[in-house]
């Protein structure tokens, strides 16, 4: 049997010393879109940041292609398991420079910024035309979110870590993002861990859903994670 592309083994996360989630264990298969749902404040974002290696988990471990992140090299791991934040973070530069910046890091290992692919992806997400040379921070939040999605896809990640990807998008934009995600899954077996508080969003976007409430350190009411 083929092992998962990403595995979480008894992962626990905390914030300022308070336990949020305990012993989260799951396996993400190649080409799988897996939703992690739970109410606001249950630790979804903290879990995703731990998986991305931006912070350390309180306990447990993550393995990517059978190896812990450190063995891949942390920068190289983060290129392959790429985190897309809920609130887009744009550098003070043009959209083009924002997209090209990761290709200047040593972990890019000489890979050249695929400008044509970038333009095509932006177009597919409704950001064609002159957007490339616009200041990224002058875009709306929804547009910035799509740029950050394109920035992550250009790295050719094996896994995308998506934090509430539809929260700042209208129906149409969210639909375009979802379709592109599906295309990436079909074309090259991209996998994604997606966290959301919205169960109906989870079922629209993903193949499988795991409810994080069973790992939560404190109890949450069922209504809090009601279908949105």
Partner 1 sequence: MVDRAAAGVIELQALDLVLAAVLVLVAGLVSMLLRLGLEKRLLVAAMRTVVQLLLIGYLLKWVFRIESLTLVLGLALLMIIAASRAAVTRPARTFAGVSWLAFLSLTVTGMVTTITVTGLIVGVDPWWRPQYMIPLLGMILGNGLTGVSLSLDLLLESLAEKREEVEMELALGASAREAARGPMAFAIRRGMIPIINTMMVVGIVALPGMMTGQILSGTDPLDAVKYQIVVMFMIAGATSLGCMGITLLAGCRLFNRRHQLEAHRIRRR
Is 101 a binding residue for partner 1 by CB under 8 A? The answer is yes
Q: What is the CB neighbour count within 10 angstroms for residue 73?
A: 12
The residue from 53, 72, 132, 213 that contacts partner 1 (CB under 8 A) is: 53
Q: How far is the CB of 223 from partner 1 (least distance, A)?
A: 31
User: How many CA atoms are closer than 13 Å to the CA of 219, on its beta-carbon side?
Assistant: 2
The residue from 55, 141, 218, 226 that contacts partner 1 (CB under 8 A) is: 55
The residue from 155, 169, 181, 194 that contacts partner 1 (CB under 8 A) is: 155
Is 74 a binding residue for partner 1 by CB under 8 A? The answer is yes
Angstrom distance (rounded) from CA 137 to CA 143: 10
Angstrom distance (rounded) from CA 96 to CA 69: 29
Please return the burial class of 150, using the count of CB atoms within 10 Å of its CB with bins 0-12, 13-18 and 19+.
buried
Is 114 a binding residue for partner 1 by CB under 8 A? The answer is no
The residue from 22, 44, 72, 79 that contacts partner 1 (CB under 8 A) is: 79
Total residues at the site for partner 1 (CB under 8 A)?
27
- Pairing state between β 59-64 and 6-15: antiparallel
Residue 11 near residue 47, CB atoms below 8 Å: yes
Is 64 a binding residue for partner 1 by CB under 8 A? The answer is no
Is 178 a binding residue for partner 1 by CB under 8 A? The answer is no
- Pairing state between β 191-196 and 18-28: unpaired
Q: Which residues would be at the binding site for partner 1 (CB under 8 A)?
A: 52-56, 69-70, 74-76, 78-79, 82-83, 85, 87, 89, 91, 101-102, 105-108, 151-152, 155
């Amino acid at each position: 049997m083929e092992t998962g592309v990403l595995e979480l083994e008894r992962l626990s996360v905390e914030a300022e010393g308070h336990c949020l989630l305990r012993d989260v264990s799951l396996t993400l298969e190649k080409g799988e879109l897996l939703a992690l749902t739970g109410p606001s404040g249950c630790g979804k974002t903290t879990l995703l940041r731990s998986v991305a290696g931006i912070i350390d988990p309180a306990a447990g471990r993550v393995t990517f292609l059978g190896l812990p992140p450190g063995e891949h090299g942390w920068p190289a791991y983060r290129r392959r398991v790429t985190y897309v934040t809920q609130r887009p973070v744009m550098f003070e530069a043009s959209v083009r420079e924002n997209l090209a910046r990761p290709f200047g890091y040593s972990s890019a290992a000489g890979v050249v910024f695929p400008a044509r692919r970038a333009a095509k992806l932006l177009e597919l997400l409704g950001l064609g035309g002159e957007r490339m040379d616009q200041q990224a921070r002058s875009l709306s939040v929804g547009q910035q979110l799509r740029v950050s999605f394109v920035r992550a896809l250009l790295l050719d990640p094996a896994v995308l870590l998506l934090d509430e990807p539809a929260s700042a998008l209208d129906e149409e934009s969210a639909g375009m993002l979802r379709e592109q995600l599906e295309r990436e899954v079909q074309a090259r077996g991209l996998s994604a861990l997606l966290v959301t508080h919205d169960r109906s969003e989870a079922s629209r976007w993903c193949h499988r859903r795991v409810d994080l409430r069973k790992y939560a350190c404190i109890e949450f009411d069922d209504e809090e994670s009601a279908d949105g």
